[in-house]
């Protein structure tokens, strides 16, 4: 239970093996992972068979472990990126491209005080915690009591509860608590009507402090920007997506296609440049090629950033 | 709470400038970006005039300055933009007001402006402020009233930039430093866009207390960004091929305190790899080699310095060229030195524990050849991220890593970033955008034990 390298005793290293009680990310494939707490007497059952946790303890993180049927999985040390892929979705969550950009653009560094609302599933919160560690703190608010409680449990599980405080509060209605007035380095809003929370966010921020509002719809952005123009400067709206690539090795057919017979190979290049292969060479040479993945996310949300004016 | 007192010490990111601090000056809303080190003697040139940067010392970051015509010579003065300016525009509900004007009456014959250059010079001599000149230009423009509201705003802004230039005082952070370089000299940072840099840091799980191995051939930008995230804990090992460390002058633009600088260390790939395969005894035999290396280090840094003398101006200010410590006067202008040779204990610890992250940003190297050597230095289950401005080297690298079963969770990705103009009734994506911010191959080192069945 030590997602962050809070101190040297918990840090992953050649000498740090899986212990009883550790949180482990069980990796089947890049899109099939699960968070599991290693317990001496427990077993994990999946389509590959039964895995005994007792086999895991004492092995290094990153090990391949086998089931009773000879199937295997990898056991990884948790990171905020892996956690984002395995956490239970209580709400729509932010993904790595948005998260990374938000942290960098808000200029969150160790020691910062960050305010967030809503907490949602805690995907971004975990990355905020990593960025402010070890001296900073994240105060995150959600008006949904049960969701806040689940988030708290998750932060205990991942070992970041000393860096994060979860509050139950309607930020749109009541604003952030006065105790943070003028103390926040950054404020992040993921709310249906962010413009209602902006005046409070302004009061929480230090001078030149940064704000980000995440909204899926352009109408929300429009209204937020109108509100921001009063007390903020450097107002900028972005959209960020991550395009992933598939990589594979093809055997390129370099033979001069006999007309009418050219429908054989998968990458149907109708005309191959002859310069590549020596003329008359009928053997195919392997080549590694990349192409964008066929299915991809088309939209996550707009990110609007602003900086509190210095008076 | 220590963060309540930004001026209390050098440890918590200060929000007020001090003598000797590094700043990023944004002139006229991004038209020009200049890095400077503030001192009594440092100056900034705007147009054909030179301004002292003295008034910027002790001001909060985010302050705006405007050129004022002083009695003897113009100077930079704090400027607080009136908030009503914005309100006036918004209150009119201009998003609803249908614009009836268009450009049918505008004739491009260069006779619209009745003020001559001599008139403006005369106004200046009489002590008119930049804003007064802008107003006079508007009053004397025959076509201003015929312009649409949007082009009126544009006109005003254009004249303001020329006659009343503004300077925004910004904190140098990896964000602003990366953006400034990407805008002006993208080749120097291997076309690494700020969103790609942010992904490298996330994907490599850089956080306090980690030991990050970095191969940085992008001027020290990645090393600096990592050091910023470490905040004075853990370590960043800046490694290099051959006997000469890569330049990392960009790191001096961050306002790193001694604690952070101390965490930035250097060690050659050869040495790290040799240590990897040896016992402690053999390591100590290497010490001679190590010392020789350090000597060459010094030589290199000296030659780098002299090179910078040519590039930078003598007043401690330069357009994205790091100023030279030697060229600035006074002790206060000296930035703490980052990138000392890694001490034996650090190397020993890296050897025993392995690095907890790896980032490679080497636009001119074969990614696979590098990763083959560097990945074994990483502890098991540790993440890595490799940047390249081209796709193909990373595709090949990914394929080879898969074949050799050295890593899992491999992903080859490319960020796409689009900025929007958001204005009443005029919201749309910006007309210009960056076509590519580069590619990233990320993954996790798997534990490979051949005896395992």
* Fold (topology level) of B174-445: Rossmann fold (3.40.50)
**Given the DSSP bridges, would you call strands A49-52 and A43-46 parallel, antiparallel or unpaired?**
antiparallel
Which residues on B lie below 8 Å from A111 (Cβ)?
2-3, 11-13, 231
Min Cα distance B382 → chain A (Å) is 8
Which residue in the set B207, B352, B419 is minimally distant from A14, CB to CB?
Answer: B352
For residue A202, give both structure tokens.
Answer: 């302004």
Q: Is the pLDDT of residue A204 over 80?
A: yes
Which residues on B lie below 8 Å from A6 (Cβ)?
208-209
Does any domain span residue A249? no
Cross-chain residue pair B207–A11, CB shorter than 8 Å: no
Angle between the N-to-C axes of helices B194-203 and B221-230, in degrees from 0 to 180, rounded to the nearest 10: 50
More confidently predicted of A196 and A255: A196
Min Cα distance B420 → chain A (Å) is 5
Nearest residue on chain B to A218, judged by CA atoms? B427
More confidently predicted of A6 and B102: B102
* Residues 179-238 in B contacting A (C-alpha not used; CB under 8 Å): 194-195, 197-199, 201-203, 205, 207-210, 228-234
Does any domain span residue A13? no
User: Looking at A4-13, A39-48, B261-270, which range is the least confident one?
Assistant: A4-13
**Together in a domain, A58 and A165:** no
* Domain CATH for A123: 3.40.50.150
More confidently predicted of A228 and B10: A228
Cross-chain residue pair B422–A304, CB shorter than 8 Å: yes
pLDDT at residue B263, rounded to an integer: 94
**Together in a domain, A162 and A129:** yes
For residue A212, give both structure tokens.
Answer: 């980000």
Count A/B contacts: CB-CB distance under 8 Å: 247
- Cβ atoms of residues B182 and B213 within 8 Å: no
Which residues on B lie below 8 Å from A14 (Cβ)?
352-354, 379-380
Domain boundary among A35, A60, A78: A78
Q: Is the pLDDT of residue A23 over 60?
A: yes
pLDDT at residue A279, rounded to an integer: 45
pLDDT at residue B276, rounded to an integer: 61
Residues 6+ apart with CB under 8 A from B422: A221, A222, A225, A235, A237, A304
Rounded to whole angstroms, the Cα distance separating A209 from A306 reads: 9
Does any domain span residue A17? no
Nearest residue on chain B to A133, judged by CA atoms? B208
Does any domain span residue A11? no
User: Looking at A9-13, A106-110, B86-90, B259-263, which range is the least confident one?
Assistant: B86-90
Which residues on B lie below 8 Å from A30 (Cβ)?
408-411
How buried is A69 (Cβ within 10 angstroms: 0-12 exposed, 13-18 middle, 19+ buried)? exposed
Peptide bond between residue B340 and the one before it cis (omega within 30 degrees of 0):
no
Cross-chain residue pair A60–B11, CB shorter than 8 Å: no
- Contact of B405 with chain A, judged by CB distance below 8 Å, is answered with no
Which residue in the set A8, A14, A304 is minimally distant from B379, CB to CB?
Answer: A14
pLDDT cut 90: percent of chain A above it: 74
Q: Which helix (H) or strand (E) element contains residue B265?
A: strand B264-268
Q: Give mean pLDDT, residues A173-186.
A: 96
Q: Phi, psi (5° rounding) for residue A51?
A: -110, 125
Residues facing B45 on adjacent strands: B50
Nearest-CA neighbor of A32 among A47, A49, A17?
A47
Min Cα distance B40 → chain A (Å) is 23
Does any domain span residue A262? no
Q: What is the pTM of this model?
A: 0.85
Domain boundary among A57, A78, A99: A78
Which residue in the set B2, B234, B444 is minimally distant from A76, CB to CB?
Answer: B444
- Structural domain total, chain A: 2
Does any domain span residue A209? yes
Rounded to whole angstroms, the Cα distance separating A212 from A191 reads: 11
pLDDT at residue B295, rounded to an integer: 41
Three-state SS for A271?
Answer: coil
- The predicted-structure confidence for A254-278, as pLDDT tens digits, reads as follows 666 555 554 444 554 444 444 444 4
**Together in a domain, A207 and A72:** no
- Cβ atoms of residues B76 and B91 within 8 Å: no
**Given the DSSP bridges, would you call strands A184-189 and A205-215 parallel, antiparallel or unpaired?**
parallel
**Together in a domain, A50 and A88:** no
- Best of A19, A185, A240, A296 to disrupt the B interface (most B CBs within 10 Å) is A240
Does any domain span residue A291? no
**Together in a domain, A175 and A105:** yes
Rounded to whole angstroms, the Cα distance separating A89 from A41 reads: 28
Nearest residue on chain A to B64, judged by CA atoms? A310
Which residues on A lie below 8 Å from B232 (Cβ)?
110
pLDDT at residue B209, rounded to an integer: 92
Beta strand ranges found along chain A (DSSP E):
23-29, 32-37, 43-46, 49-52, 64-66, 72-76, 113-117, 137-142, 164-168, 184-189, 205-215, 232-252, 285-292, 302-308
pLDDT at residue B412, rounded to an integer: 97
Cross-chain residue pair B412–A247, CB shorter than 8 Å: yes
**Together in a domain, A86 and A215:** yes
* Residues 50-89 in B contacting A (C-alpha not used; CB under 8 Å): 60-64, 80-81, 83, 86-87
pLDDT at residue B302, rounded to an integer: 33
Confidence of residue A8 (pLDDT cuts 50, 70, 90): low
pLDDT at residue A241, rounded to an integer: 95
Three-state SS for A146?
Answer: helix
Which residue in the set A80, A97, A225 is minimally distant from B422, CB to CB?
Answer: A225
Rounded to whole angstroms, the Cα distance separating B73 from B82 reads: 25
DSSP assignment, residue B99? P
**Together in a domain, A226 and A86:** yes
**Together in a domain, A100 and A169:** yes
Q: Say if residue A142 carries a ligand binding annotation.
A: yes
Match 């290199």 to its residue by tokens: B300
ipTM of the complex: 0.90
Question: In this structure, what is the dihedral angle of CA atoms B254, B258, B263, B269, given to the nearest 10 degrees?
Answer: 70
Three-state SS for A149?
Answer: helix
Cross-chain residue pair B398–A104, CB shorter than 8 Å: no
Rounded to whole angstroms, the Cα distance separating B397 from B382 reads: 18
**Together in a domain, A88 and A236:** yes
Which residues on B lie below 8 Å from A288 (Cβ)?
392, 395-396, 399
Confidence of residue A7 (pLDDT cuts 50, 70, 90): low
Peptide bond between residue A134 and the one before it cis (omega within 30 degrees of 0):
yes
Does any domain span residue A4? no
For residue A185, give both structure tokens.
Answer: 């380095």
Which residues on A lie below 8 Å from B433 (Cβ)?
none
Q: Is the pLDDT of residue A132 over 70?
A: yes
Cross-chain residue pair B171–A107, CB shorter than 8 Å: yes
Cross-chain residue pair B83–A290, CB shorter than 8 Å: no
pLDDT at residue B69, rounded to an integer: 75
The alpha-helical segments, DSSP class H, found in chain A are 53-56, 80-86, 96-105, 123-132, 145-157, 171-174, 194-204, 218-228
Which residue in the set B6, B409, B412 is minimally distant from A27, CB to CB?
Answer: B409
For residue B256, give both structure tokens.
Answer: 């790193």
pLDDT at residue A255, rounded to an integer: 65
* Domain CATH for A29: 3.10.330.20
Nearest-CA neighbor of B44 among B250, B323, B266, B232?
B323
Three-state SS for B298?
Answer: helix
- Contact of B399 with chain A, judged by CB distance below 8 Å, is answered with yes
**Together in a domain, A65 and A151:** no
Q: How far does Cα A209 stand from its chain's mean position?
A: 24
**Together in a domain, A201 and A233:** yes
Nearest-CA neighbor of B386 among B266, B216, B221?
B216
**Together in a domain, A225 and A206:** yes
Tell me which residue range forms the domain holding A43. Answer: 23-78
- Cβ atoms of residues B33 and B319 within 8 Å: yes
pLDDT by residue for chain B (453 residues), tens digit each?
Answer: 333 333 333 445 688 999 999 999 999 888 888 999 999 889 998 888 889 999 999 999 999 998 887 767 788 888 887 654 444 444 444 444 566 777 777 777 777 787 888 888 888 777 777 888 888 888 888 788 888 887 888 888 888 888 888 899 999 999 999 999 999 899 999 999 999 999 999 999 999 999 999 999 999 999 999 999 999 999 999 999 998 999 999 999 999 999 999 999 999 999 998 866 655 444 444 444 444 444 444 333 333 332 332 233 444 555 554 443 333 333 444 555 888 899 999 999 999 999 999 999 999 899 999 999 999 999 999 999 999 999 999 999 999 999 999 999 999 999 999 999 999 989 999 999 999 999 999 999 998 764 333
Nearest-CA neighbor of A82 among A153, A34, A133?
A34
Q: Say if residue A170 carries a ligand binding annotation.
A: yes
Min Cα distance B346 → chain A (Å) is 14
């Amino acid at each position: 239970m030590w997602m962050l390298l809070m101190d040297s005793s918990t840090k992953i290293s050649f000498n740090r093996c899986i212990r009883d009680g550790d949180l482990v990310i069980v990796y089947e494939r890049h899109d099939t992972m699960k968070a599991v707490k290693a317990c001496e007497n427990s077993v994990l059952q999946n389509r590959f068979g039964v895995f005994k946790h007792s086999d895991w303890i004492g092995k290094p993180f990153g090990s391949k472990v086998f089931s009773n049927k000879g199937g295997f999985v990898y056991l990884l040390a948790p990171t905020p990126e892996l956690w984002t892929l395995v956490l239970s979705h209580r709400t729509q969550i932010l993904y790595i491209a948005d998260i990374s950009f938000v942290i960098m653009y808000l200029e969150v560094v160790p020691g910062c005080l960050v305010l967030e609302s809503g907490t949602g599933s805690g995907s971004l919160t975990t990355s905020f915690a990593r960025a402010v560690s070890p001296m900073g703190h994240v105060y995150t608010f959600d008006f949904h009591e049960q969701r806040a409680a689940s988030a708290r449990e998750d932060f205990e599980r991942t070992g970041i509860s000393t860096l994060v405080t979860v509050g139950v509060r309607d930020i749109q209605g009541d604003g952030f608590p006065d105790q943070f007035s003028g103390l926040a380095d950054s404020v992040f809003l993921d709310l249906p009507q962010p413009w209602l929370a902006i005046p409070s966010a302004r009061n929480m921020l230090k001078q030149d402090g940064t704000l980000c509002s995440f909204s899926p719809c352009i109408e929300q952005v429009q209204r937020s920007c109108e509100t921001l123009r009063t007390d903020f400067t450097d107002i900028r709206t972005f959209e960020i997506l991550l395009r992933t690539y598939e990589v594979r090795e093809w055997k390129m057919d370099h033979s001069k296609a006999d007309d009418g017979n050219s429908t054989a190979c998968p990458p149907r290049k109708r005309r191959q440049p002859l310069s590549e292969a020596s003329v008359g060479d009928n053997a195919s040479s392997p080549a590694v090629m990349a192409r964008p993945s066929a299915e991809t996310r088309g939209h996550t949300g707009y990110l609007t950033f602003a900086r509190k004016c210095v008076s | 709470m220590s963060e309540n007192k930004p001026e209390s010490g050098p440890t918590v990111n200060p929000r007020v400038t001090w003598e000797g601090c590094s700043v990023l000056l944004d002139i006229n809303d991004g038209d020009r970006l200049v890095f400077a080190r503030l001192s009594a003697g440092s100056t900034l040139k705007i147009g054909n005039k030179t301004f002292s940067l003295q008034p910027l010392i002790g001001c909060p970051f985010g302050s705006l300055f405007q050129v004022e015509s002083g009695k003897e010579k113009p100077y930079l003065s704090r400027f607080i933009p009136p908030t009503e300016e914005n309100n006036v525009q918004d209150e009119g509900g201009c998003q609803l007001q249908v614009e009836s004007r268009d450009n049918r009456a505008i004739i491009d014959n260069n006779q619209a402006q009745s003020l001559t250059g001599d008139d403006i010079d005369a106004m200046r001599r009489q002590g008119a402020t930049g804003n007064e000149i802008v107003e006079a230009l508007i009053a004397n423009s025959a076509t201003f009233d015929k312009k649409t509201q949007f082009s009126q705003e544009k006109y005003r802004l254009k004249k303001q930039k020329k006659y009343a230039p503004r300077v925004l005082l910004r904190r140098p952070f990896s964000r602003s430093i990366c953006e400034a370089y990407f805008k002006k000299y993208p080749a120097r940072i291997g076309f690494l866009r700020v969103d790609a840099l942010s992904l490298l840091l996330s994907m490599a799980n850089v956080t306090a207390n980690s030991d990050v191995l970095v191969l940085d051939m992008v001027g020290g930008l990645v090393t600096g960004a990592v050091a910023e995230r470490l905040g004075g804990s853990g370590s960043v090992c800046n490694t290099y091929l051959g006997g000469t460390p890569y330049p990392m002058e960009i790191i001096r633009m961050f306002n790193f305190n001694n604690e952070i600088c101390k965490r930035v260390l250097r060690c050659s790939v050869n040495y790290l790899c040799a240590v990897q395969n040896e016992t402690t005894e053999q390591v100590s035999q290497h010490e001679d080699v190590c010392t020789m290396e350090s000597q060459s280090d010094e030589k290199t840094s000296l030659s780098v310095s002299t090179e910078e003398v040519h590039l930078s101006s003598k007043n401690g200010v330069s357009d994205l060229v790091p100023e030279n410590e030697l060229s600035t006067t006074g002790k206060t202008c000296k930035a703490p030195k980052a990138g000392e040779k890694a001490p034996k204990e650090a190397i020993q610890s890296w050897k025993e524990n392995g690095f907890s992250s790896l980032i490679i940003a080497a636009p001119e190297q074969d990614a696979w050849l590098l990763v083959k050597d560097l990945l074994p230095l990483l502890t098991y289950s540790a993440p890595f991220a490799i940047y390249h401005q081209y796709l193909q080297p990373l595709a090949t690298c990914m394929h080879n890593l898969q074949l050799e079963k050295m890593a899992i969770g491999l992903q080859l990705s490319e960020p796409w970033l689009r900025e929007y103009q958001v204005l009443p009734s005029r919201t749309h994506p910006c007309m210009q955008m960056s076509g590519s911010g580069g590619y990233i191959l990320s993954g996790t080192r798997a534990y490979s034990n051949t005896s395992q069945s």
